[in-house]
């Protein structure tokens, strides 16, 4: 099965993002479990966290941090 296409991503509070998919679904993904170490640890900065954007078939931050598309969809909570 193909992964749904991401149409929009918005940063939320508490290190979560709202993702809208081309299926009409909106889901919330909790990024907090990924925030550790030097690279992903940069996401702790609230202003840096807000740099999230669509990149190809997933989301990405200004430093290149990204989430695997299947995790982004499968591990999100429907709104």
In this prediction, residues 53-69 reach a mean pLDDT of 97
Helix (H, G, I), strand (E, B) or coil at 12: coil
Each residue of 8-24: pLDDT tens digit? Answer: 999 999 999 999 999 99
Helix (H, G, I), strand (E, B) or coil at 66: strand
Give residue 1's pLDDT.
62
> Which residues, in sequence order, are CB contacts of 62 under 8 Å at separation 6+?
48, 51
CB 15 within 8 A of CB 35: yes
How far apart are alpha carbons 69 and 45 in whole angstroms? 23
How far apart are alpha carbons 46 and 58 in whole angstroms? 20
What is the value of pTM for the model shown? Answer: 0.94
């Amino acid at each position: 099965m193909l992964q749904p296409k991401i149409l929009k991503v918005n940063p939320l509070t508490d290190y979560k993002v709202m993702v809208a998919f081309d299926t009409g679904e909106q889901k919330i993904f909790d990024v907090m479990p990924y925030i550790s170490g030097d690279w992903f640890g940069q996401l702790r900065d609230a202003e840096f966290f807000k740099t999230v954007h669509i990149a190809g078939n997933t989301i990405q931050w200004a430093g290149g941090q990204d989430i695997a598309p299947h995790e982004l969809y499968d591990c999100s909570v429907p709104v």
